[in-house]
């Protein structure tokens, strides 16, 4: 049984996961873009998680995440 056969539910990637990447690799800002493709009809989708070490870094990472979501991937703002 493969990982895909065991659990196909899409889950949000927690900010803590982005923080762990920042801590492990020494970065101030982390933007995670995840995609699930090819399953018809579901599950499929995209997810973005951002993290910044300080309030300023959080704001910049969030702006980059929003740019990717709305300008590049074409998400709609609700």
CB-based contacts of 50, cutoff 8 Å, min separation 6: 15, 18, 29, 30, 31, 32, 58, 61, 62, 64, 65
Return the residue matching tokens 């990717």: 68
Kindly report, residue by residue over 19-75, the tens digit of the pLDDT: 999 999 999 999 999 988 876 766 678 899 999 999 999 999 999 999 999 999 898
The pTM for the full model equals: 0.80
Q: Are 35 and 69 in contact (CB under 8 A)?
A: no
Residues 73, 35: Cα–Cα separation, whole Å: 11
């Amino acid at each position: 049984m493969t990982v895909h056969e065991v659990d196909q539910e899409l889950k949000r990637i927690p900010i803590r996961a982005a923080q762990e990447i920042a801590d492990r690799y020494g970065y101030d800002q982390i933007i995670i873009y995840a995609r699930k493709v090819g399953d018809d009809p579901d599950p499929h989708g995209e997810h973005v998680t951002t993290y910044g070490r300080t309030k300023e870094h959080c704001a910049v990472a969030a702006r980059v995440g929003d740019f990717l979501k709305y300008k590049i991937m074409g998400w709609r703002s609700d």
